[in-house]
Amino acid sequence: MRGDKPLPAHAPWCMGCGEDNPNGLHLEVHLHGDHVYADLQFDERHSGAPGLAHGGAISAACDDIMGFTLWIAETPAVTRTLTVEYRRPVPLHTPVHITASLVDETDRALFIEANGTVGDTTYFAAEAVFVKVDLSHFLRHGDWGATADLITRFFQAD
Ligand SMILES: CCCCCCCC/C=C\CCCCCCCC(=O)SCCNC(=O)CCNC(=O)[C@H](O)C(C)(C)COP(=O)(O)OP(=O)(O)OC[C@H]1O[C@@H](n2cnc3c(N)ncnc32)[C@H](O)[C@@H]1OP(=O)(O)O
């Protein structure tokens, strides 16, 4: 059983969790037992209809927090499909608690669920398939150095 542990951002400029991205969601994600969680409030940068969070911003929050269950699965992986069920409109400036967990796994795929609650009520729920990749995926398509830095920071975190 893992204890509560803050997890390092995917990258400083990550739209979901990067602290250097002024327009990001600034998710601060923790590992707790068999799931990860974050608390956030959407604001005007994430607005859709007046006073309400944009569905894309909610989807991004789900995608990003699901990307932290990789520390549970202990493998790099990337989103292949993501389905979000928007159950209730999410007001801006309202505390939202998001959790994500790994529900199943095959040789190539991770099946992940996320849930967003306000108080005791579920406002949105998501399911995703992530496909496992090796680190060369990020070397070929992205910034391998930043990925290596992320893994270093994870093992340095308390
Ligand atoms: C020691 C701890 C280590 C931890 C390390 C953690 C570090 C991680 C570092 C950084 C993480 C970043 C995380 C971040 C942010 C949040 C997540 C995102 O936003 S990710 C960005 C958006 N997503 C993409 O950009 C993907 C783009 N797509 C692709 O690159 C390819 O499509 C890819 C690699 C996903 C697959 O391509 P193919 O050509 O290799 O594979 P094919 O043949 O299409 O499918 C392969 C297999 O995948 C499974 N699969 C695929 N789709 C499935 C599905 N819907 N259901 C079940 N299985 C499925 C099946 O097994 C399939 O093989 P069968 O078809 O059975 O032969």
In the predicted structure, residue 158 carries a pLDDT above the cut 70: no
Q: Among the listed ranges 85-89, 128-132, 136-140, which one has the minimum average pLDDT value?
A: 136-140
Tokens of 91: 């007001």
Mean pLDDT of the chain: 93
In the predicted structure, residue 3 carries a pLDDT above the cut 80: no
Pocket test for ligand 1, best of 59, 74, 80 (most atoms within 8 A of CB): 80
How many angstroms does the Cα of residue 89 sit away from the middle of ligand 1?
30
In the predicted structure, residue 88 carries a pLDDT above the cut 80: yes
Give 26's Cβ-side CA count (13 Å radius): 11
The string of DSSP codes covering 29-74 is: -EEETTEEEEEE---GGGBSSTTBB-HHHHHHHHHHHHTTTHHHHT
Environment class of 141 (CB within 10 Å of its CB; exposed 0-12, middle 13-18, buried 19+)? exposed
- Measure the CA dihedral 83/79/41/89, to 10°: -10
| Nearest Cα residue to 123 out of 82, 158, 95 | 95
The residue whose C-alpha atom lies closest to atom 23 belonging to ligand 1 is 79
Residue 141's pLDDT band (boundaries 50, 70, 90)?
confident
| Nearest Cα residue to 70 out of 25, 105, 20 | 105
The pTM assigned to this predicted structure is 0.93
| Predicted complex ipTM | 0.91
Q: What are the structural domains of the chain?
A: 32-142 (3.10.129.10)
How many angstroms does the Cα of residue 46 sit away from the middle of ligand 1?
27
Residue 1's pLDDT band (boundaries 50, 70, 90)?
very low
% the chain with pLDDT above 90? 80
pLDDT at 104: 98
Helix, strand or coil, per DSSP, at residue 147: helix
